[in-house]
Amino acid sequence: MTDVAPIPDETGNAKAYSVSELAFALKRTLEDAYGFVRLRGELSKVTHHSNGHVYLTIKDEKAAIDGVVWKGSVRGLSVRPEQGLEVIVTGKITTYPQGSRYQIVIESMEAAGIGALLAQLERLKQKLAAEGLFEPARKRPLPSMPAVVGVITSPTGAVIRDILHRIRDRWPCRVIVWPVVVQGEAAAAQVCGAIRGFNAMTPDGPVPRPDVLIVARGGGSVEDLWAFNDETLARTVAEGVIPLISAVGHETDTTLIDFVSDRRAPTPTAAAEMATPVLAELKALVSDLGARMHRCGGRVVDERRRKIEHADRALKRVPDLVRLAEQRFDIVSGRLGAGLAKNAAAHERDLVRVASRLSPLLLQRPQQVQKDRLDRLAVRLEPTIRRRLERLSERLEGLSKLYASVDPDRPLQRGFARVARADGSLVHAGAQLASGEEVAITFGDKVTRQAVIEGAGGAPLAPKPAKSKPKADGPPQGDLF
């Protein structure tokens, strides 16, 4: 550790490092010395952070070391970090200066053995089963006569040849092969992409969408088939809309995709048989159904013919039936005249019997009773009506007198006059009028004259000077006064 070796200063004492200088010097020393470490242990305290990083601890029976998997490396891991899983990790040792801790930055991770892989698979199966992805109710039925079959497998090898050969023998239809790798770290991602690609197709597109999918691979060890135990692949199969047949490995091999798929086939050849019917069998079935239809039709025709023959034998007696009805009609028509006459006579007798009981008195008696009742009511109502008329006459006379007393034109007949301004308002006092104001004076004969007010308000008007009489010719006449 030359970076942190004590170096004397000018005074001869050892140089004082800062905490940061010492922490980062130790960090560089560890990273240089342990830049590549392969470590085996059991995972504990596994935390999948929301930012995508994974924080964990690797331990054995005597020690433990913290570890971190950065977000960019999580997708490349061959196993999913889980509590209690025994793994072998590869990475570098570094320190965390802020906490004076050292840790391993993990770049790859693999299960330590078959037992660990199977334990991880069992936990994943329980998780997906709890979510309902294995329920039979959600599995889609396979089409009976598919027009297009999609196959997801390796383009090389015996698997694709067996599938194509079996489909060609049974049901000549269109087969679309999506080539993928079926082993290794990239296998699960490529199979997921193929399933999503097939489901994204449209039925009327340039490449028609398959009616059924087959995911196929030959047999192998648990490690060889491990790509088909991927959780993302299982969820992709569950989310698809096209029915899917899983044909991975031999009959004794079981992968996670077998539980999620709509149908599991023990071999790729069996998957081809599940996906397609046998054309020869369908032709034989159609021929048999056609023969049965002809036989049934023949029996229906024979039965209808027998019914027509029976009806024909019955129709030969139609003239006899008509003659019998004609005879009954003649008998009834002969009795009709006598019956009508007898009915009319009976009604006539009833009318005479009822008419004998009717007389004018029967009508006059109720009429006389009503008339007497009306006379009695008239006798009792006459005084009441008379008194009512007298009271109304007295009230009318009083109203007439009241109207005459408040008649504004009545005082005019006694010599008074009514004075009104030009706007129609009445004048109640002479002081209200101004000199030169025009007024209208109404007299008792309903004649209205116009006048002009002279003199100051409230002062009596001076008498007008007498007009001088013209002098007569002759000697002047003396004044009497």
Q: What is the 3-state secondary structure (H, E, C) of the chain?
A: CHHHCCCECCCCCECCCCHHHHHHHHHHHHHHHCCCEEEEEEEEEEEECCCCCEEEEEECCCCEEEEEECHHHHCCCCCCCCCCCEEEEEEEEEEEHHHCEEEEEEEEEEECCHHHHHHHHHHHHHHHHHCCCCCHHHCCCCCCCCCEEEEEECCCCHHHHHHHHHHHHHCCCEEEEEECCCCCCCHHHHHHHHHHHHHHCCCCCCCCCCCEEEEEECCCCCCCCHHHHCHHHHHHHHHCCCCEEEEECCCCCCCHHHHHCCEECCCHHHHHHHHCCCHHHHHHHHHHHHHHHHHHHHHHHHHHHHHHHHHHHHHCCHHHHHHHHHHHHHHHHHHHHHHHHHHHHHHHHHHHHHHHCCCHHHHHHHHHHHHHHHHHHHHHHHHHHHHHHHHHHHHHHHHHHHHHHCCCCCHHHHCCCEEEECCCCECCCHHHCCCCCEEEEECCCCCEEEEECCCCCCCCCCCCCCCCCCCCCCCCCCCCC
- The 10 Å Cβ neighbour count of residue 481 is 3
Query: For residues 85 and 89, what is the distance between their CA atoms, to the nearest angstrom?
Result: 12
Domain 140-277: give its CATH code: 3.40.50.261
Query: For residues 358 and 348, what is the distance between their CA atoms, to the nearest angstrom?
Result: 16
Topology of the domain covering 2-112: OB fold (Dihydrolipoamide Acetyltransferase, E2P) (2.40.50)
pLDDT of 474 higher than 70: no
The contacts of residue 414 (CB under 8 Å, 6+ apart) are 444
Residue 85 has a pLDDT of: 80
Query: For residues 404 and 408, what is the distance between their CA atoms, to the nearest angstrom?
Result: 9
- pLDDT interval class at 180 (50, 70, 90): very high
Query: For residues 204 and 187, what is the distance between their CA atoms, to the nearest angstrom?
Result: 30
Query: For residues 254 and 217, what is the distance between their CA atoms, to the nearest angstrom?
Result: 12
- pLDDT interval class at 175 (50, 70, 90): very high
Please answer whether residues 249 and 225 qualify as being in contact, where contact means their C-beta atoms are separated by less than 8 angstroms: yes
From residue 183, alpha-carbon distances to 153, 154, 179, 194, 219 in Å are 10, 10, 13, 15, 11
Say how many residues make up the chain.
481
List pLDDT tens digits, range 316-335.
Answer: 666 766 777 888 888 888 88
Average pLDDT over residues 435-454: 83
List pLDDT tens digits, range 92-135.
Answer: 888 877 777 888 999 998 877 666 667 777 888 888 989 999 99
- Phi-psi group of 12: left, alpha or beta (phi > 0 → left; psi -120 to 50 → alpha; rest → beta): left
The rounded mean pLDDT for the chain is 83
List pLDDT tens digits, range 127-151.
Answer: 898 999 999 999 999 999 999 999 9
- pLDDT interval class at 8 (50, 70, 90): low
Distance of CA 314 to the CA centre of its chain: 65
The whole-model pTM stands at 0.45
pLDDT of 19 higher than 70: yes
So where are the chain's domains?
A: 2-112, 140-277
Residue 422 has a pLDDT of: 81
pLDDT of 279 higher than 80: yes
Range of 277-286, 362-371, 412-421, 441-450 with top mean pLDDT: 277-286
Comparison of pLDDT for 120 and 263, the residue scoring more? 263
Query: For residues 100 and 97, what is the distance between their CA atoms, to the nearest angstrom?
Result: 5
- The percent of residues in the chain predicted with pLDDT above 70, rounded, is 89
Residue 461 has a pLDDT of: 47
List pLDDT tens digits, range 62-79.
Answer: 888 999 999 988 888 878
Please answer whether residues 428 and 421 qualify as being in contact, where contact means their C-beta atoms are separated by less than 8 angstroms: no
